Chain A
Amino acid sequence: LSAQTFEQAQAELEQIVERLERGDVGLEELTKLWERGEELYRRLAAQLADAQGRIEELARRLDAEGAD
């Protein structure tokens, strides 16, 4: 699962949403798909926040060096 790249996880999440929006889903599957979608969302959001944090950190460090 964790071997999935950001892009793969994103594609899977979008496929789940499209299936749900088409509505051809059994009730039991509905819960499963929704939970899976939420899990993918949490992971993707965490990865984005991590990337953002690292970019800002790097920018701060370079700014500090540039100011020397």
Chain B
Amino acid sequence: VKVEAIEVEGRKVYSVRAFNEGVASYLQRLPTLWVEGEVTELRRQQRWATVYLTLKDPDSGACLAAQMPRGQFDALRLDLVDGERVHAYGRPELYTQRGDFHLRVLTIERFGLGAHLAAIERLKQKLAAEGLFAAARKRPLPRIPSLVGLVTGNDAAAKRDVLSAITTRFPPAHVLVAETYVQGPRAAPAIATAIRDLCAHGADVIVLARGGGSFEDLLPFSDERVVRAVAGCSVPVVSAVGHEQDTPLCDLAADVRASTPSVAGRLVVPDLAELRASLDRAHILLGRGARRIVEQHGRRLAGTRERLSRAPLLVLERRSSRLETAHARLRALSPRATLERGYAIVRSGDRLVREPPAAGEQLDVEVARGRFGARAD
């Protein structure tokens, strides 16, 4: 295609059509390739020759308009609906009349099992690297939840199992049920929204329950939006999705993984009868403990009191025995003991006679058993 420019005052100028055709012919040189995305805004009408759809990246939200001849699309018998993941094989194209860019699709393949598994594995690696599945993130469940949030399908056996397990074990439990799509392309955003809504309504634990299903049925529970909603939930999440052998990524992000919806129900509430019994036991022990402490103090105080009442007498006895000893020693030192041995005390008036007195001096002699007068020679 030759793109004609016109000369205006020495400047090369292109008409819109010429410009578009130029770009279109440039795009035609790009290779035909596979694009992976989620189908949205699928428009197919009997009277249209072309089927229009938009391919979208689920995580980044980037969009690409795509179109395919209706005959070819119908021949694939895909029955595609919005939200499904596909691989589209085509090449970029510019609609020159409108300057619209799109992918001209030659064929579409629904995401196969292998592709799904590979995509889940990639997502698992990415989220694990972010630490979303780390054991350190797991939170304990509340012992007695004030409001249990339940995310489940409407009229599902899973819902009935969770509710009956909860009410059997703990009849006064409050449960708020958020019924959502649990399979198909609309499920993932609906589940993520339900989790956030239940948090906003004050749930302090959330149960995510879905019975068993095919691999494709359980895909929404490995969707990045759901896994992030579970990991980012402000309250603990119990995941009971599919059967024991299924491990959707939401199980890894949840705080507790339950093997079945019934088990999940039993995990989130305490056994009321058991709770009553342990409360009664605690009550009895409380009374016993309090009484024992008072008794212990009472015994200790009584012992101390007895010692106290004996103590002053003890002190006095010790004192008086010391007094007796001193007295005995005092007596031992008395001059009387000396007189007993035959000595005498001689006085002249009041004065003790220590030197020979003058002749004729009147003396007073004291001996052990009395006294008598004498005169000096």
How close is A9's CB to chain B, nearest CB, in angstroms? 10
Interface band, chain B: 20 to 34
Contact A34 B304 (CB under 8 A): no
Contact B314 A23 (CB under 8 A): yes
How close is A16's CB to chain B, nearest CB, in angstroms? 7
Contact B294 A48 (CB under 8 A): yes
* A20 contacts across to B, CB distance below 8 A: 307-308, 311-312, 314-315
Residues 13-34 of A, flagged 1 when their CB comes within 8 A of B and 0 if not, give 1101100110101010011001
- B residues 281-312 touching A (CB-CB < 8 Å): 283, 287, 290-291, 294, 297-298, 300-301, 304-305, 307-308, 311-312
Contact B301 A44 (CB under 8 A): yes
Q: In the complex the two chains form, what is the Cα distance from A55 to B295 in whole Å? A: 12
Instruction: Tell which of B300, B311, B316, B318 has the most Cβ of chain A within 10 Å.
Output: B311
Interface band, chain A: 20 to 34
* B98 contacts across to A, CB distance below 8 A: none
* A21 contacts across to B, CB distance below 8 A: 307, 311, 314
Assuming the A-B contacts A27-B319, A48-B297, are A41 and B304 also in contact, with contact meaning beta carbons closer than 8 angstroms in the complex? yes
* Residue in B290, B305, B316, B319 whose beta carbon sits within 8 Å of that of A41 in the complex: B305
Contact B308 A37 (CB under 8 A): yes
Assuming the A-B contacts A23-B318, A41-B304, A41-B305, are A55 and B312 also in contact, with contact meaning beta carbons closer than 8 angstroms in the complex? no
Q: In the complex the two chains form, what is the Cα distance from A44 to B303 in whole Å? A: 13
Q: In the complex the two chains form, what is the Cα distance from A10 to B301 in whole Å? A: 8
Assuming the A-B contacts A51-B294, A52-B294, A55-B287, are A45 and B301 also in contact, with contact meaning beta carbons closer than 8 angstroms in the complex? yes
* B319 contacts across to A, CB distance below 8 A: 27
Residue in A closest to B291 when the chains form the complex, CB atoms:
A55
How close is A37's CB to chain B, nearest CB, in angstroms? 5
Instruction: Tell which of B283, B304, B316, B319 has the most Cβ of chain A within 10 Å.
Output: B304
A67 at the interface (CB under 8 A from B): no
Instruction: Tell which of B305, B314, B316 has the most Cβ of chain A within 10 Å.
Output: B305
* A14 contacts across to B, CB distance below 8 A: 304
- A residues 40-68 touching B (CB-CB < 8 Å): 41, 44-45, 48, 51-52, 55, 59, 62
Contact A48 B301 (CB under 8 A): yes
How close is B319's CB to chain A, nearest CB, in angstroms? 7
Q: In the complex the two chains form, what is the Cα distance from A27 to B298 in whole Å? A: 30
How close is A66's CB to chain B, nearest CB, in angstroms? 8
Which residues of B are in contact with A by a Cβ distance under 8 Å? Answer: 283, 287, 290-291, 294, 297-298, 300-301, 304-305, 307-308, 311-312, 314-316, 318-319
Q: Could you pull out 10 A-B pairs where Cβ atoms are within 8 angstroms?
A: A13-B301, A13-B308, A23-B315, A30-B315, A34-B312, A44-B301, A45-B301, A51-B294, A55-B287, A55-B291
Q: With A10-B297, A37-B308 given, can you name 15 additional A-B contacts, CB distance below 8 Å?
A: A13-B301, A16-B308, A20-B311, A21-B311, A23-B315, A27-B319, A34-B311, A34-B312, A41-B301, A41-B305, A44-B297, A48-B294, A48-B298, A52-B298, A55-B290
